[in-house]
Amino acid sequence: MVIFNPFVPSFKINPYLQYSRLRIDDPIHRSMALQAWILTRYDDCLHVLRDVGNFSSDGRYASGEIGRVVREQRKTTPLGDVDSLLTVDPPTHTRLRNIISREFTPRKIELLLPRIEEITCQLFDEIDACYEFDLIDRLALPLPVIVIAELLGIPASDRQLFKEWSNKLAATTDVFNSEQAIQEAQEATLELISYFTDFINARRRSPKDDLISAFVDAQSESVVLSDDEILAFSILLLVAGNETTTNLIGNGILALIDNQDSFSSVKENSDRIPSMIEEILRFDSPVQGVVRIAKNDISLRGVDISTGEIVMVMIGAANHDHEQFENPESFDIQRLQNRHLSFGLGPHFCLGAPLARLEARVLFKEFFNRFSLLESTRSDIERGGTLLLRGFTKLPVLVQK
């Protein structure tokens, strides 16, 4: 019998071995420990992500104790009862997404290129004299934090606060949250609410060229958008706008350390950077899974799933499915068919995908321009992340210029 055990240390190092066994022997696996169905095949994950009629993003649909806890938290957690883009379904989701998507069109994101290049060069200049440095601390973490803070209109002096708040909120994506993690997340949310409330009021009095001003302006255009929804938007962007991009960059660097031929190939031809980024996203996805709730009794591959049961769509596993990808365990920057699911699919496809790709493209291009060799001291690597998010808290690298 196949067991899914994300609590062993080996899973955090390499979850793909467990995914592979599940995908072959028990692709729709019932985890008693998680009280959830674990999906590991590409086609099944694709189906659930698309089928918003039968699978909800709203935890209030969950049955039993889990549903009770979610509903209780919605009542007692700051902003818990406010609809969030990640946790609602159409038509509410459609209304909220239409508002924010106006600010995240590919054309608007591409206009950020000069500023992202400037920030990236400044970060590299600060480490230019170093041959050994922590990639997370010096590059992968600050770039997305600075970019999303500037988009929101946050002053540079408050960026460190933002990262600390983001870390506390991201920690709650783990399977079982400690009382301390929940308490810290609630405190961080209260601090963010206070911070953004003052910010919203300031932008209402004196608009600027930033996202908060754009949300406030949308209210004046008779768009149905409450101040609480602006707060929820802002907090979501803070976490989603930096945590996953940090993971993308860190996971990508480790993949290149392990695949020196790929490093050399891209260094010789920077036109390969976009396909390299897509392969990083597939090979070691920053988001390993998303949660859905069955809204109706449904059969999937002959397995009966009851209304209210939790379904965990393991994107990281789907991206390694042999039925979809040739030699999926190989890191292949010239992969032609790469329809990975790392940004999701359907109504909940990641709005920030163009921004994440742009930030990664700029950072990797500068990395290849500056360095000719990349190594790491494995013993000093510190993995962070949760069951649903995969990344590093520390990734020391050795480079040669």
Say which CATH number the domain at 76 has: 1.10.630.10
Range list of H helices, 259-352:
260-268, 273-283, 315-318
Q: Given this model, what pLDDT does residue 100 score?
A: 82
Residue 1 placed within a domain: no
Q: Which residues contact 118 (CB under 8 A, 6 or more apart)?
A: none
The one-letter amino acid code at 39 reads L
Residue 4 placed within a domain: no
Residue 129 placed within a domain: yes
Q: Given this model, what pLDDT does residue 284 score?
A: 97
**Rg value, the chain, Cα:** 21
Q: How many CA atoms lie less than 13 Å away from 1 in the CB half-sphere?
A: 5
Closest CA to 367 of 54, 97, 123, 199: 123
Tokens of residue 90, six digits: 């159409």
Name the helix (H) or strand (E) containing 291. strand 290-294
Say how far apart CA 147 and CA 120 lie, in whole Å: 10
Q: Which residues contact 227 (CB under 8 A, 6 or more apart)?
A: 197, 200
User: What is the DSSP track for 335-401?
Assistant: -S-----TT--GGG--TTHHHHHHHHHHHHHHHHHH-SEEEE-GGG-EE---SSB--EEE-EEEEE-
Say how far apart CA 360 and CA 230 lie, in whole Å: 27
- Specify the residue for token string 């591409």: 110
Per this entry, what is the length of the chain?
401
Q: Are 212 and 230 in contact (CB under 8 A)?
A: yes
Closest CA to 290 of 14, 7, 1, 52: 52
Q: Which residues of the chain have pLDDT under 50?
A: none
Give the predicted TM-score (pTM) of the model.
0.91
Cα distances (Å, whole numbers) of residue 353 to 204, 318, 343: 29, 19, 7
pLDDT one-digit tens code per residue, 2-21: 889 898 889 989 999 999 99
Closest CA to 329 of 337, 317, 343: 317
Long-range contacts, stretch 324-331, CB < 8 angstroms, 24+ apart: 324/42, 324/43, 325/282, 328/282, 329/16, 331/255, 331/258, 331/259, 331/262, 331/279, 331/283
Name the helix (H) or strand (E) containing 31. strand 28-31
Q: Given this model, what pLDDT does residue 67 score?
A: 65
Tokens of residue 348, six digits: 């909940």
At how many degrees (to 10) do helices 142-152 and 353-370 cross? Answer: 140
Residue 107 placed within a domain: yes
Residue 53 placed within a domain: yes
Q: Are 243 and 389 in contact (CB under 8 A)?
A: yes
Say how far apart CA 157 and CA 150 lie, in whole Å: 11
Q: Given this model, what pLDDT does residue 155 score?
A: 82
Q: Are 132 and 398 in contact (CB under 8 A)?
A: yes
Closest CA to 169 of 103, 78, 99: 78
Q: How many structural domains is the chain composed of? A: 1
- Structural domain range at position 92: 9-400
Largest Cα separation within the chain, whole Å, is 63
pLDDT one-digit tens code per residue, 337-354: 899 999 998 888 888 899
